[in-house]
């Protein structure tokens, strides 16, 4: 009977030592993070720090002719016919590193900076 109790104790100890705090099996290596999709927290790296130039509401990228709304965290861009708003860049601009592009801080408060797009294109 002592041997059965010892074997049972060892098996129990082994099973629980291979579980994390949530009762899930521990992953070996980096397999736990293979399918993990990290969501971006906060503004993109190229955006001004929080509190920096509080007047700035939008960042305009003249070369790409797109805007980034700092308050809403969305991109405003055109497909040539109409303006779209999205939390992600359009596919055509995914490869562009906006950190390296010319950025113009716009200090007027509006939800539609594209309403002055012709003016922005002429100035920049």
pLDDT in tens, 96-113: 999 999 999 988 777 888
Helix (H) or strand (E) holding 60: strand 58-61
Mean pLDDT across 12-19:
60
Please state, in angstroms and rounded to a whole number, the distance separating the CA atoms of residues 75 and 88: 7
Record the tokens describing residue 115, joined without a space: 């309403």
Rounded-to-10 torsion of CA 72, 78, 81, 86: -40
Residue of 41 and 100 predicted with greater confidence: 100
Residue 124: is its pLDDT beyond 70? yes
């Amino acid at each position: 009977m002592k041997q059965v109790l010892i074997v049972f104790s060892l098996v129990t100890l082994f099973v629980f030592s291979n579980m994390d705090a949530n009762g899930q099996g521990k992953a070996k290596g980096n397999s736990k993070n293979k399918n993990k999709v990290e969501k971006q927290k906060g503004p993109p790296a190229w955006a001004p720090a929080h509190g920096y130039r509080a007047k700035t509401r939008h960042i305009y990228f003249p070369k790409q002719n797109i805007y980034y709304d700092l308050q809403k965290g969305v991109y405003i861009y055109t497909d040539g016919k109409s303006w779209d708003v999205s939390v992600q860049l359009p596919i055509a601009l995914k490869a562009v590193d906006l950190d390296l592009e010319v950025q113009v801080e716009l200090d007027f408060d509006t939800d539609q900076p594209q309403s002055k797009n012709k003016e922005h294109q002429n100035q920049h």
